[in-house]
Each structure stands twice: as C-alpha cells, then as structure tokens.
Structure 1
Amino acid sequence: MIVRTLAEAEKSDRCVKAENGNWQSVRLSLKEDKMGHSFNITTIFKGTKTHIKYANHWESVYVISGSGKIETLDDGKVYDLTPGTIYLLNEHDEHYLYGGENEDMVVACAFTPPLSGKEVHDENGVYPADVD
C-alpha cells in the first residue's frame, strides 16, 4: 500500500510548475507506483490560457473548486467548468484551458498511460510519450 498526502507531495519534486506560470500540478501517483494511471491535483491559475493536446495520453479531469473554461479547437465549442464537472479527453482533443477570471481552478486529473513525473507541455501543448 502507498499512502501520501497532498501537503507532502507539494513540498517535493512531485510538484511541477509550468514554465509560463499558468499551472501547478502535484503528481500524487506516477508510473513508478504501477497503478496503470497517474493522478494529479492541478491548479489552473486565474486569468491564464493554456494550449493542450495530449497526443500520447488520455485524461479525465474533475473540477474540485474554482471555475474556468475549456475550448475545443476542432469545433470551437466552449464549455464552462465549475465544481462537479468532469471532462474526458477521449480523442486526444486539442483544446485551450482557461483559468477563471477571478479565481484559480483546482482539478483532479487521471492520465493513461501514467505520467513519469516531470512532464510539461511542449510547444504544441503535448506531453511527451514515455519511452520505457
């Protein structure tokens, strides 16, 4: 059994911050934990816009607190994100993720295949594939 707390992980190398300052992701479970997925608590900072396309992963995202929006690039649809909302990137959907106008948004994220830990978005919004 593995037990960790968010507070512990926030003070470790499991806390990864975007180079552009748009988000912070605390990786509570990773590939090394051998669960078949990884699980993060991520804060999307208010007033930010992040381009994302997980070409190598599927992601499920559940909004815990705050608000934001997601805009899909293929059809231009915009969805409000509020607590209790889940979105599933089941087709490697390219999108923009927006932090709220007045508040940060905190989300729980599960990735398949699991993240290794230090991933950040490349210039195309993609996390690299794990080569192991």
Structure 2
Amino acid sequence: MIVKHLTDVIHSKDDIDTKTWNARRLLLKKDGMGFSLHDTVIKAGTETLIWYRNHVEAVYCIEGDGEIEVIGGPTYPITAGTLYALDGHEKHLLRANRQMRMVCVFNPPLTGAEVHDADGVYPLVESNS
C-alpha cells in the first residue's frame, strides 16, 4: 500500500515549479501503478504550450478557472468540476484566468525527470525510476 500526503511532496524533488505551473508529483512510474498522479497548480494570468506527444493525460480541475485551446481547433472553458482528457495527443494552449488547481493522470507514467521541451512535449523516459 502507498500512503502519501501532499505535504510529503511539497519542497521535495517531486515538486516541480516553473514560471507557469507547479506540479506536485504524487505517484510516479517507480510506484508501479501503471500511471502517474499529480496535484498541479496553473498560475494565474499564464499561458502554457503543451503537447503530450508521448503520453495521454486526464485532467480534473478542482479550483480556479481558465481555458484550453486545441491548436487548430476549439477552445473550451475550464472551471472547478471540469474534466478534459487528451486522448488524441492534442497540442494545446492552457490558460489560467485565476489560479487553477488540477488533478492530472498520465499514461505512460512519468518518472519525475520530465520537463517540457520547446514544443511542449515531455520525452518518453524509459528508466524504471
């Protein structure tokens, strides 16, 4: 059984803080669950280009508001209670009007070493850690 609290992750190596988001990585590949789970804060007034070319992601907003714009496609509002799933590896812009807090699930699971490249992509890391 795995039992963690968010406070166990905050200010650890699994707390990744960038200019536009802060991902607290609760479950990673090393935990053996077949997915990774993240408590992510999208900072107010920001826009982030994201393209999970190597992963699918489901995102559930638990606070705040913003929008997701699919590049070359529609824009969807995001408020608390909204779920979106990037099941087609959609390249998108994520914007936060007010700080958003999201629960994110990735498959394949992240190892914790990933960072977005210039295209917004996380590389597929083959390591077991």
Name the TM-score, length of structure 2 as normaliser: 0.96
Residue of structure 2 in register with 1:120 after alignment: 115
How far did 1:8 drift? 1.4
Kindly report structure 1 stretches of 4+ aligned residues shifted beyond 3 Å: none
Aligned pair 1:107/2:105, yes or no?
A: no
Shift of 1:105: 0.3
Aligned to 2:17: 17
Q: Please, which runs of 5 or more residues in structure 1 have no aligned partner?
A: none
Partner Cα distance (2:95, 2:72) in 1: 17
Q: Are 2:28 and 1:5 aligned?
A: no
Give unmatched runs, 5+ long, in structure 2: none
- 1:35-75 CA-to-partner distances (Å, cap 9, x unmatched) read 00000000000000000000000000000101110000032
The 2-side partners of 1:67 and 1:10 are apart by 23
User: Where does 1:70-89 land on structure 2 (aligned, <5 Å)?
Assistant: 70-75=68-73, 77-89=74-86
Aligned-residue identity in percent = 43
SS in 1 for 2:94: strand
Please state how far the C-alpha of 1:114 moved relative to its aligned partner.
Answer: 0.2
RMSD: 0.8
Q: TM-score, normalised by structure 1?
A: 0.93
